[in-house]
Every structure is written in C-alpha cells, then in structure tokens.
C-alpha cells in the first residue's frame, strides 16, 4: 500500500532499519535480496509490512521485511477481504458475524498463496 507518512512514527526509519537488519536485507517470504534484480529485470526494493495491518503497532514482532512482489500479494489478499466485508455491509449483513479469512491466525509469518 502507498505510504502515508503521517501514519508512521517519527522513528520509523530506525524501525525499518532494524527490521531489514534482522532479515539480513532479504525478503522474509521469498528471500530476494534488497536492490537485487528480480526475474523480470526490475530492482527488488524491500518494504516493511505490518503483519496485523495496524500501523500503530510498531513493535518489531509485528513488522516483516518484504520485497515489492510479496508485499503486493499480501495487500491483494487484504483488498479482497475488504471488498468482501464491504459487500456484506452493503447487503445489510453484519460482516463480523461471518468467519473472516484471517491470514495471520496460524502464526507470526504470513503465508502467501501463489496462483490462487
Ligand atoms: Zn519476496
């Protein structure tokens, strides 16, 4: 997702640095190295993702280093889930009564499903 600077704490750069250091400057899902070339010849840029999507929770256990490709895949799942909830709300149903496809319920690290 595009970054809105006002949503991030003043020490965000330092937190980001700590996450990338912990990850050995590699995507924590696919292992691609920061600033390496992707399979398509584009530059891999690592971003830091909030695992629970709560930007106010900025402890390191809630942050993960992801390449742009993996980050986009995770956000796609979030967009699909948000669209599902919006459809339920528009249909007059309580979206919280329906089981959410909580992608993080099984553990700390998100699971990315390819070819879904
Ligand atoms: Zn990746």
> Tens digit of pLDDT per residue, the chain (116 long)?
456 677 778 888 999 999 999 999 999 999 999 999 998 999 999 999 988 877 777 788 999 999 999 998 888 877 888 889 889 988 887 666 555 555 444 444 554 444 44
Residue 11 belongs to a domain: yes
Q: What pTM was computed for the model?
A: 0.64
Ligand 1 center from residue 43 Cα (angstroms): 12
Residue 110 belongs to a domain: no
Ligand 1 center from residue 25 Cα (angstroms): 11
Residue 49: DSSP 8-state: E
2-12 per-residue burial string, b: 16 or more CB within 10 A, e: under 16: eeeeeebeeee
Residue 80 belongs to a domain: yes
- Residues 47, 59, 105, 28, CA torsion sign: positive
Residue 111 belongs to a domain: no
Ligand 1 center from residue 73 Cα (angstroms): 9
- Residues 30, 34, 36, 39, CA torsion sign: positive
Token pair recorded at residue 90? 């528009």
Residue 51 belongs to a domain: yes
Q: How many domains does the chain have?
A: 1
Residue 115 belongs to a domain: no
State the first-to-last Cα distance of the chain, in angstroms, to the nearest integer: 20
Ligand 1 center from residue 94 Cα (angstroms): 35
- Angstrom distance (rounded) from CA 39 to CA 41: 6
Residue 18 belongs to a domain: yes
Residue 112 belongs to a domain: no
Q: Which residue range is the domain that position 25 belongs to?
A: 5-97
Count the residues in the chain.
Answer: 116
Ligand 1 center from residue 88 Cα (angstroms): 32
Domain of 57, CATH number, reads 3.40.1800
Q: Is 104 exposed, middle or buried (0-12, 13-18, 19+ CB in 10 A)?
A: middle
């Amino acid at each position: 997702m595009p970054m809105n600077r006002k949503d991030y704490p003043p020490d965000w750069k330092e937190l980001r640095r700590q996450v990338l250091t912990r990850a050995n400057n590699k995507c924590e899902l696919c292992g691609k190295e920061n600033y390496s070339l992707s399979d398509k010849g584009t530059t891999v840029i690592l971003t830091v993702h909030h695992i629970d999507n709560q930007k106010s929770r900025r402890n390191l256990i809630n942050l993960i280093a992801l390449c742009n490709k993996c980050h986009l895949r995770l956000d796609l799942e979030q967009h699909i889930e948000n669209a599902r909830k919006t459809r339920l709300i528009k249909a007059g149903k309580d979206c919280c009564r329906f089981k959410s496809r909580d992608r993080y319920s099984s553990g700390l690290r998100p699971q990315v499903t390819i070819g879904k």
